[in-house]
Every structure is written in structure tokens, then in C-alpha cells.
Amino acid sequence: MRFDEMQAPSIVARIAIGKAIGLVFGLLACLVSPLLVPDVSLMFRIGMLLWYPTMGAFIGVFGVMNYHPVLELPMPWWIRAPLVGAWMNLVLVFFTYDAAAGYLMSALNVSASPFWFVLEGAFVGGLIGYLATRYGGEGVQTLQAGH
């Protein structure tokens, strides 16, 4: 059932959906990490647990902007959400480059670039954006829900 069949578009619903899906991915990363990399640090695991709900919240908030004000271009969810997810994971890789490289080396037993996490962020961001848009709406009308 689409959001317009259930209720009016809502920014709160977008953020809640984004955070819930992010929490699922964060829990998955936190719980699967020790299975793939036995010596992964607790801080890295907790960081993953908290990172993905934050990504979901950002994607939920950015659902208000379906038109870029400076470039004067439409910004549909399928561009906006993967872009935010990729950007967030790019920042993550910059902060945790050594830990992410060690994680991939231990998990895959190859010397892979940690920047593959950027592609993973785009995928997760796209999924969050799709579900948040489908069930929470998008655009400026999400701000006027309940008025």
C-alpha cells in the first residue's frame, strides 16, 4: 500500500522509515562483522550500528528536496538517496580507512580498496530512499502534513 492510500506525506514518517531500515543494516553489520572478521574492534562494530540509522535519517530529511535550488534540476529519490548514501560512506571511509582496509582484507582475503564501501552506501541509500518515498512521500508537501 502506497503512502497516499494510507495517509498524507510526512517528514516524520520518512525519517522513521529511514532510521528503521538503517537500524536493520546497522544491526546486520554489527552482528555479522565478528563472523567475517574475528578481530574486528568493538568500536568499529558500534560505529556501524550507529552509522546506518544516521544515514537513514539524512535520507529521510533530504526527501523534502525533490528539486535542486541552485542547479534548477529535478532531484528524484533514485538520484538523491544513492548520492547521500554514497557521500556518507565516503566520509566513513575517510574516517576509518585503516580499519575498513583491514576489515576487507580479513573478510575477503584480498587487498581490496575500502572505497567499495561507497558503492555499498549508494545501494543501501537507494533502498532507504525507495521505501521512505513509497511509504512516507516526498517533496515540500511532507512538511505540511497534519496542517
The low-confidence residues of the chain, meaning pLDDT below 70, are 1-6, 145-147
Q: Which residue(s) pair with 74 in the sheet?
A: 67
Q: Where are the domains of the chain?
A: 3-142
Contact status, residue 77 vs residue 133, Cβ threshold 8 Å: yes
Return the pLDDT at 5.
55
Residues 76 and 25: their CA atoms lie apart, in Å, by: 23
CA angle 119, 124, 127 (to 5 degrees): 130
Reference 79, options 67, 90, 89; nearest CA is: 67
Taking the C-alpha atoms of 14, 19, 20 and 25 in order, what is their torsion angle to the nearest 10 degrees? 130
Residues 118 and 77: their CA atoms lie apart, in Å, by: 18
**Residue listed under C-alpha cell 543501501:** 124
Q: Which residue(s) pair with 73 in the sheet?
A: 68
Residues 117 and 93: their CA atoms lie apart, in Å, by: 7
Return the pLDDT at 123.
97
Residue 74, exposed/middle/buried by CB under 10 A (0-12, 13-18, 19+)?
A: exposed
| pTM reported for the whole predicted model | 0.86
Quick: pLDDT tens for 80-120: 999 999 999 999 999 989 888 888 888 777 778 889 899 99
Return the pLDDT at 147.
47
